Every structure is written in C-alpha cells, then in structure tokens.
Chains A and B, each alone.
Chain A
Amino acid sequence: MTAFVLKRLGFAVITLFAVLTIVFFIVRVLPGDPAMAILGDQASQAALNALRARLGLDQPLYVQYLQFLGGVVVGDWGVSMVSGRPVIQEILKVLPATLELTFVSLVLGAAVGIPLGVWSAVRRNKLPDYITRMASLLGLSFPAFVSAVLLLIVFAIQLRWFPVISSGQGTTLSDRLRDLALPAVNLGLIMAAYITRVSRSAMLEVLNQDYVRTAHAKGLAFATIIWRHCLRNALIPVVTVVGLYLGILIGNSVLTEIVFNRPGLGKLIIGALNQRDYTMLQGMMVIYTLIVVLVNLITDLTYGLIDPRIKYS
C-alpha cells in the first residue's frame, strides 16, 4: 500500500513538473512582450527596460525558469501585472466559489446519473432505457454555455424564479443557494449525462456475471442484488471516468461562471486573458494543473476504498 501511494505520488510530481515546464515555456516563447503589453507601445525604451528588470524578464531564461519553479514550491507565484497583488492571493480569493460550484455539481450529477444509469441498465432495450440513453446523449451535446443561456432564458428571464446575475457574495444560506442553484443545475445536469452513460455500461457488464445469477438463484431480493451486489462492483469504472471528465467539468465551469456572472477561476482567467496578465495566466495554469493532478491521485487511491480486493502493487 505504502509503495503504491509513493509510486502514484512520484508520478504526480513528475506530471506536475512536466506541465509546469510546458507552462513556463508557453508563456515565454509565444509572441507578445509582457512589458509592452502593460505599458502600451508608446512607452519609452527606458521605462520598458525598468519594468522588465522589475519583473525579472531581463534575466537569462534558465534563471527565470529556476526562479519560477522555486516560487511555485514556496507559494510565491509572482504578482499580478494588472492589480499588483500577489497572484496566489487573487486565486485563493475566488477558488472557494469555483470549488463550491464544481463540488455541488458533481454531487448532483452523481445523485441523478447513477440511479438513472442503473435503471437504464436493468430495463435494457425497453422504453426507459431508450429514453434515458437519448436524454443523456442530448445532455452531453450541450455546450455548457448554451445550456446555461437556455436555463437563464427560461428560469431567470421568463419565469423570474432566480436572479439573472448571481453575485456569489450572499451571506445567508438561502441567498447562497439561490445564487448557486442555476449554475449548479447547469453543470450538474451535464455531469449527470456523462455519469448516466458510464453507470449504464458498467452495470450491464456486471449484470451478466455468474455471481449475480447465483444471487438470484438463492432468492435474494431484486433490490438487494442490484444495489448491494452489482452497483458496488460497477462503481469503479464510474469513479475512473468521473476523474477523467474533470477536464470537461473545469472547462464547463469557466463557461458557466461567465454566463451567470459568478466570481471564480473562470472569470479570473478571462480577465487575465483580456488584459494580457501573464503572471496571472501562469498562476492559473499552475492551479489548474495542481487540481487535475490531485484529483487523479485521489481517484487512484479511492479504488481501494470501493473495492478492497484491489492490491496496490
């Protein structure tokens, strides 16, 4: 077990290192001069040089690279070129809002998707199965901003049940829930579409196993067989796939945050792109990489909790 955790941890560190290297060179090598982006193209050469020195851009590339890596480790991610505040502070300020949104959506997606997938598999090739399959296929055909715009048109503009612009700053629980409802439903339903499909195919594979027939033969209640015996075994592929879909979830959360005007990483990265805030962009890529690598690690380690038969080797 320890050896396995260490191995996965080592792999996570290597991935992190590789992506950080790519991030550093993407930001440096691609066209566009950060100093000129900040001061405008009318700036004098002296002002440009002074700013470059202040940002450390006059150092040789390998020095900048080492400083960047060292900074990431100790939590010094540089200062935003626009606001002048430390990048890590700006990110940590909005990170909870994004995590709240993605976590609630994931729970919602699992709560809707897993039972639907199981139902669909049990009623295979019957009407409920066809409807569920079509609905989930439709669900994952929605670009997140399209579904968000449609939700906004129906529930906020036509029915006026929810605010058109959620502040995400509500202090009372009911305020927060009202702000969270539409964005979470938007992300949650798309996740549910993916989870339904994986749960269905995982269940189908399990349903054909010998031990399920044995369970039926010894007269166990149908519900017991499905929920206790089948689902537990079907959950592993589901967890794996949810881990894989994290990238989609993150991309969708950016679009959702923009449509609902919700503070979070999404709005931060769009702002940084529009203002060419290179240090902020670099920090955003670091945080996204950290999240992805961390979730993959947790996914790997979760297998053992779901299925004690898995030997870590």
Chain B
Amino acid sequence: MTDAATAPLSRAAYLRSAAVAMGGGLIKAFNANKTSWVGLGGFLIVVLLAVLAPAIAPYDPLDQNILYRLKPPSAEHWLGTDFYGRDTLSRILWGARISLAIGLIAIGSAMVIGTLIGMVAGYYGGRTDIIVMQVMDVLLAFPSLILGLIVVAMLGPSIANLVIAIALTAVPPFARIARAPTIAVKNREFIEAGRALGYSDLRLMFGHILPNIAPEILVMGSLWLATAIRVEASLAFIGLGVSPPTATWGGMIREGFENILDSFWLALFPSLAILVVVFALNLLGDGLRDAIDPRLRGEE
C-alpha cells in the first residue's frame, strides 16, 4: 500500500538529509560573512603546520646547543635561539601541537558534556532545569583562569589535568547555549508531531532537537577553542603548563620573559603565534555567529 511519497524516510535517508541541511546552513553562514573564510583558512594553516611539525621543523625542538645561545634571528635560525640554544621556530611548530591538542580535546569534551546538560535541563524543564542551571551559574560565577589555576596546581601540570581544568570552565557556557534553543525548539510543531507518533525522549532530543541547535554549538565551539588556547598559554606562562622541556607557547614566553631585557624576540615570536591562532578562531566564530544569530538574520 505504501508508495514512495508517503513512506516514512528511512533512517539513513533521514540522517543524510539532516546532514545536508546542516552543512548547507553552515556554508551559507560562511558565505554571508567572508571574514569567516579568512579565519578558517588561517586556522587550517596552523593545524597543517602543527601536524607536519616533525617533517618541516628545521631542528629538534629539544636539541640544546650551548654555542648558539640567545642568538637573534638569522639565516640558520629564522626566529633565533633560546637560553639553551634551542631553535625557536622548531619549538613554536612543536608547541602548536600541544596548544591545539589540549584545546581541541578540552573543548570537544566540554561541548559534548555541556550540550547534554543544557539539552536535558531545557527539555525536561521544571525542577531539573532550576537545579542544574543554578549549579552551572555558580560555576560560571568563578573566574575561569582562577579555577583552572587551582585545579592544575592541585592535580599537577600534565596534559590530562590541563584538559580537565579547561573543560571544567567551559562546560557551563555550553550548557547555557544549548538550553535556550532547546526550550525554543521543543514546543515547535515537528517535535509535538514526533511526540504524538510515540517517539522516545532520547530520539526527539538527539534526532530532532540536536540537529537544530548544532550549528550554534559548533560556532560557540570555535570561539571557546580560542579561549581554551588562551587559557592554556596563560597557565603555562604562570608555570602551570606541560612540564619543561616540552615546548609550549606559554612556557616559551615565560622563559623568554626572563631574558626580556637583552633578547626580547624570545617572548615576541611565541606571542605572535598565539595571537595568530586565537585571532583566526575568533574571526571564524564571530563571522559565523553573525550569520547564524536569528536576531541579526535578514539584515545586511
């Protein structure tokens, strides 16, 4: 009896159409604000350099050479050498791997956990909502650098602990961001229709609400990735980064800062590296947010 037109979409077909819709939305958002492309390009270049670091770095980032200490930029060492004669360019390339890895893992987990919390709070409403969001607000009230500082200081500076500290400070904002659109979407007709068809809460949340709020969450993800890289560098600068001699940007600035009076370029180049990544991510996220934000839509 059922012909093709009235048959319910198969699961695969449904997922495909949802993915196409989401991807199309994102591409439209990109085109609405050209600076997003610039930001994405800048970020991808940094990712590429980080991935290729073992192949393209001119020296071993840990190789010490006492004869070439604190040398200014030259033909052999494009960005100079540090206190132990290590090549600054190579250390910046390798440091990118640490910054990106910590940022991506921390924000990835915060995004998943925060979105789940926000969706559950928004979807069920009532007392669950009040209690959960109150806890999030209390966490949010605490300055994130101070919270990160204390967690890392207590647990010890390792990549895993840095990820935990940064993710912890980023969960509440994602919960907030996921909650509002969940509340807006859950009363729309298509969700009611789904409920009438007897779909489970889980299916509604993940199959129908999540695709609707995903673009917004991804955009916030890019902005928070920028923040995470900034916080990781800040912690390393304070002395709570991945332990030396591993190259990290914040750690390099910390070491450069000790020689700032005679060799200021040591602190300068890693500073610029951080600035480039964070600025690229902010350009990307900011442009996309303008395009996606319904309050700004239809303007221009």
- Footprint of B on A, CB under 8 Å? 15, 18-19, 22, 26, 30-32, 125, 137-138, 140-146, 149-150, 152-153, 157, 164, 205, 246-248, 250-252, 254-255, 258-259, 269-270, 273-274, 281, 284-285, 288-289, 292-293, 296
Residue numbers in B under 8 Å from A157 (CB-CB): 260-261, 264
The minimal Cβ–Cβ distance linking A144 to chain B, given in whole angstroms, is: 7
The minimal Cβ–Cβ distance linking B133 to chain A, given in whole angstroms, is: 13
Residue numbers in A under 8 Å from B112 (CB-CB): none
Contact with B267, one of A30, A31, A149 (Cβ below 8 angstroms): A149
Known contacts A137-B286, A153-B268; A146 and B253 CB within 8 A of each other? yes
Check B138 against A269 for contact (C-beta < 8 Å): no
Instruction: Give the residue name and chain of the A residue nearest to B267 (CB).
Output: A149
Number of A-B contacts (CB under 8 A): 119
What are 26 sample pairs from A and B whose C-beta atoms fall under 8 A apart?
A26-B154, A125-B300, A137-B279, A137-B282, A137-B283, A143-B237, A143-B274, A145-B237, A145-B250, A146-B274, A149-B257, A149-B271, A153-B267, A153-B268, A157-B260, A157-B261, A157-B264, A250-B143, A254-B146, A254-B149, A255-B145, A255-B237, A269-B146, A285-B146, A288-B146, A296-B141
B110 sits at the interface (CB 8 A) = no
B128-148 contact mask (Cβ, 8 Å, vs A): 1 or 0: 000000000110111111100
Instruction: Give the residue name and chain of the B residue nearest to A124 (CB).
Output: B299
Instruction: State in angstroms the CA–CA spacing of A284 and B145 once bound together.
Output: 13
Looking at chain A's contact residues, the main secondary structure is helix
B275 sits at the interface (CB 8 A) = yes
Instruction: Give the residue name and chain of the B residue nearest to A14 (CB).
Output: B134
The minimal Cβ–Cβ distance linking A96 to chain B, given in whole angstroms, is: 19
The minimal Cβ–Cβ distance linking B185 to chain A, given in whole angstroms, is: 23
**How many B residues are at the interface, by size bracket?**
35 or more
Within B106-163, the residues touching A (CB, 8 Å) are 137-138, 140-146, 149-150, 153-155
Check B261 against A145 for contact (C-beta < 8 Å): no
Residue numbers in B under 8 Å from A255 (CB-CB): 145, 234, 237-238
Check A144 against B234 for contact (C-beta < 8 Å): yes
Instruction: Give the residue name and chain of the B residue nearest to A259 (CB).
Output: B257
Instruction: State in angstroms the CA–CA spacing of A7 and B261 once bound together.
Output: 54
Check A19 against B149 for contact (C-beta < 8 Å): no
Instruction: Give the residue name and chain of the B residue nearest to A22 (CB).
Output: B138
Instruction: State in angstroms the CA–CA spacing of A192 and B192 once bound together.
Output: 45
Contact with A30, one of B155, B238, B278 (Cβ below 8 angstroms): B155
B171 sits at the interface (CB 8 A) = no
